[in-house]
Chains A and B, each alone.
Chain A
Amino acid sequence: MIFSSLFFICVFLPVTLILYYVVPRKAKNFILLIMSLIFYAWGEPVYILLMVFSILFNYFSARSIAYYREEDKKGLKRTAFVFNLIINLGLLCFFKYYGFAIENINSIFHWSIHIRSLALPIGISFYTFQTLSYVIDVFKGNVPVQKNVINFGAYISMFPQLIAGPIVRYADIEAQLTERVMSFDKMAEGAAWFILGLSKKVLLANNIGMLYDAIFATDPSRAVLTSWIGIIAYTFQIYFDFSGYSDMAIGLGKMLGFEFVQNFNYPYISRSVTEFWRRWHISLGTWFREYVYIPMGGNRVKPLRHILNIMVVWILTGFWHGAAWCFVLWGIYYGILLLLEKYVWGKILAKIPKVFQHIYTILLFILGWLIFTSTSLTDLSGNFCSLFGILKNRFFDTDTLFYLRNNAVLLVVCGLCSTPLVTKLFTKIASRKGAGFQIIGVIVYAAIFLLSMAYLVNATYNPFLYFRF
Chain B
Amino acid sequence: MKERIEQQKRIFKYILLVFAMVIIIADACLIIMHEKTFSETENRMLQQFPKFKKETLLSGKFMTQSEDFVADQFFLRDYWIGIKLKADKIIGRQTSNGVILGKDGYLIEDSVAPVPASFEKNLSAIQTFAEKHDDLKIVMTVVPNAVSICDQLLPENMPVHSQKEDLAAIKKAVSKSLTYVDLTSTLSAHKDEYIYYRSDHHWTSLGAKYAFEAMKESLGTSELTGDLGTDTPEAFLNVYNVTESFSGTMASSSGDFSVMDSIDIYVYEIEDFQYVVEYTDAQKKSATVFNSAALSQKNKYEVFLGGNHPQINIKTTNLNKRNLLILKDSYANAFIPFLLPYYQTITIVDPRYYSDDLEKLIADTGITDILFLYNMNTFATDNSLAGVLQDE
Contact = CB atoms under 8 A, between A and B. Distances in A.
Interface stretch (A88-96, A320-328, A405-413): A405-413
Given A45-B60, A457-B77, A458-B81, A191 B27 contact: no
Contacts of A406: 92-95
B83 interface: yes
Given A11-B27, A438-B14, A460-B98, 6 more contacts: A191-B12, A402-B158, A405-B92, A410-B91, A437-B7, A449-B15
B22 A453 contact: yes
A185 interface: yes
Interface string B2-39: 01100111111111101110110011001000000000
B185 interface: no
B235 interface: no
A369 B375 CA distance: 40
Interface of A: 1, 5-7, 9-11, 13-14, 42-45, 184-185, 187-189, 191-192, 194-195, 218, 398-399, 401-402, 405-410, 413, 427, 430-431, 433, 437-438, 441-442, 445-446, 449-451, 453-460
Sorted nearest first, the 4 A-B pairs with minimum C-beta distance are: A188-B12, A457-B80, A402-B157, A398-B157
Interface stretch (B63-71, B175-183, B318-326): B63-71
Nearest to B69: A7
Contacts of B70: 6-7, 10-11
Contacts of B159: 218, 398-399, 402
Given A409-B92, A431-B7, A457 B16 contact: no
A184 B13 contact: yes
Contacts of A191: 12, 15-16, 19-20
Contacts of B66: 7, 11
B177 to A, nearest CB: 33
Given A405-B92, A410-B91, A44 B60 contact: yes
Contact of B60 (A6, A43, A405, A457): A43
A460 B27 contact: no
A428 to B, nearest CB: 10
13 contacts: A6-B67, A6-B70, A9-B23, A10-B27, A11-B66, A42-B63, A44-B60, A188-B16, A405-B156, A407-B93, A441-B11, A450-B83, A456-B71
A285 B3 CA distance: 36
B92 A457 contact: no
Nearest to A255: B16
B255 interface: yes
A195 B15 contact: yes
A454 B83 contact: yes
Interface of B: 3-4, 7-16, 18-20, 22-23, 26-27, 30, 57-60, 63, 66-67, 70-71, 74, 77, 80-81, 83-84, 87, 91-95, 97-98, 155-159, 255
Contacts of A413: 91
A77 B22 CA distance: 53
A244 B158 CA distance: 31
Contact of B92 (A44, A194, A408, A460): A408
A397 B94 CA distance: 18
Interface SS of chain A? helix
A195 B71 contact: no
A427 to B, nearest CB: 8
B157 A446 contact: no
A13 to B, nearest CB: 8
Contacts of A459: 71
Nearest to A409: B91
B98 A442 contact: no
A164 to B, nearest CB: 18
B80 A454 contact: yes
A11 B63 CA distance: 12
A212 B57 CA distance: 36
Contacts of A431: 4, 7-8
Given A402-B157, A431-B8, A195 B63 contact: no
A45 B15 CA distance: 35
A45 B4 CA distance: 47
Which of A45, A406, A455 has most chain B Cβ within 10 Å?
A: A406
Nearest to A222: B159
A5 B27 contact: no
A458 B92 CA distance: 18
B16 A45 contact: no
Nearest to B74: A457
Contacts of B157: 398-399, 401-402, 405
A21 to B, nearest CB: 13
B9 A185 contact: yes
A454 B22 contact: no
Contact of B83 (A6, A401, A430, A451): A451
A192 B12 contact: yes
B84 A454 contact: yes
A195 B11 CA distance: 13
A464 to B, nearest CB: 13
Contacts of B94: 402, 405-406
A412 B9 CA distance: 30
Contacts of A427: 8
A7 B30 CA distance: 11
Nearest to A456: B71
Nearest to B24: A14
Contacts of B81: 454, 457-458
Nearest to B10: A438
B19 A195 contact: yes
Contacts of A398: 157, 159
Nearest to A442: B14
B9 A454 contact: no
A449 B74 contact: no
A204 B14 CA distance: 24
Contacts of A450: 22, 83
Given A455-B84, A457-B80, A460-B97, A7 B60 contact: no
Q: Which of A1, A191, A410 has the most CB of B within 10 A?
A: A191
